[in-house]
Structure 1
């Protein structure tokens, strides 16, 4: 609203024959002055990622090894990635790390530490903490394992682990299947992924365990899809500590 008035005031002062700056009112100087450089709003240093800069915790009995990329891929446009191999009592996992992430395995740092090449690149900063979280999940998976507990809430809802199935075929030798009874007229059978073990401590509880967190939680999500929790009666399949807020019944 005041911009046109300020421009008219500035033009009138510039066209006038007044050459002395003392004749301009003091309260008009801040409004008429134009800074030559862009204003800086902060002078603090950029904050590093609290997750990405934290060292990895490698327990005893777990081997953490970084394999450098081969020299064959240097001539291509796509830069090759290094591979991290993690071995532990429960298995072995590997993960490809982007080329712009460096892993320092100095013993004085308290564990392997991740750094990025350009701290101003948004993609590198985003993948910094993500890569560190994936590596820490792999370390925890081969040493202690990941688990998911599914609760079946509903009349007649239950699950069992079977050695054979009638509706699906096995994907690998010795595969077991989860048989769900969640209100359908047909049997619901799901093959357990390789590396994941399933057990039923109670008929309404299903325990999934495995070294890779992503595989365990994805299989738990696939089971939950067959009977999502509904907000009116609170029935459904709940994963870990999942809860749902109940709604009032619909009145016609």
Structure 2
């Protein structure tokens, strides 16, 4: 039994949800998001809540039950607030700057990396070594942050690279003479 799936998603004031077939549409002050659920779950909208129930007792139906409820809850949160991922850059000469809709990264390569910021995502750099990725779609925010991090992942010897704020990098010991 899914503990997450049992709990209905409460709709705060100003947020509405509608279901047509397997498509859930959530509207709020910050925009609209849609999600197409699999045929393994049934989604119903009450006055101020959205409920997800599994169809049958198969393993896949139980998996989709909790996942679908979580996606709907993230959509409800996203149309009212924003999701945020913070990245830190560590390394001598490594820095970032936003110019228009392009994030310019200086990461020790022979050239600067120009990362195009996708629609619906806001990237800011308060300091040259801090990047903040914000948006209303949690999946897109996480994917953009992961794509930025992939340009220079933290290495385990000196710790240089792009890491999530608060991420711990296990440091390895170098060669000994």
The TM-score, its normalising length taken from structure 2, stands at 0.94
Separation in 2, partners of 1:206, 1:94: 28
What are the Cα deviations for residues 184-205 of structure 1, in whole angstroms up to 9, with x where unaligned?
A: 1111001101100111111111
Name the counterpart of 1:127. 64
Deviation at 1:106, TM superposition (A): 3.4
Q: Does 1:56 align with 2:32?
A: no
Separation in 2, partners of 1:241, 1:61: 34
Does the residue aligned with 1:131 lie in a helix, a strand or coil? helix
Moved over 6 A (4+): none
Does the residue aligned with 1:133 lie in a helix, a strand or coil? helix
Identify the structure with the greater strand proportion. 2
Separation in 1, partners of 2:125, 2:135: 15
Deviation at 1:228, TM superposition (A): 0.6
Identify the structure with the greater helix proportion. 1
Q: Does 1:198 align with 2:138?
A: no
Deviation at 1:150, TM superposition (A): 0.8
Name the counterpart of 1:90. 30
Deviates more, 1:214-223 or 1:56-65: 56-65
Q: Is the 8 A contact 2:40 2:60 kept in 1?
A: no
What are the Cα deviations for residues 200-251 of structure 1, in whole angstroms up to 9, with x where unaligned?
A: 1111111111011111111111111111111111111012321111111122
Where does the alignment leave 5 or more consecutive residues of structure 2 unmatched? none
Does the residue aligned with 1:247 lie in a helix, a strand or coil? coil
Separation in 1, partners of 2:165, 2:73: 21
| Structure having greater relative contact order (Cα 8 Å, sep ≥ 6) | 2
The TM-score, its normalising length taken from structure 1, stands at 0.67
Aligned match of 2:105 in 180, 186, 206? 180
Separation in 1, partners of 2:165, 2:15: 27
Does the residue aligned with 2:141 lie in a helix, a strand or coil? helix
Computed over aligned residues only, the root mean square deviation of the Cα atoms, in angstroms, reads 1.4
Count matched residues: 177
Q: Does 1:99 align with 2:32?
A: no
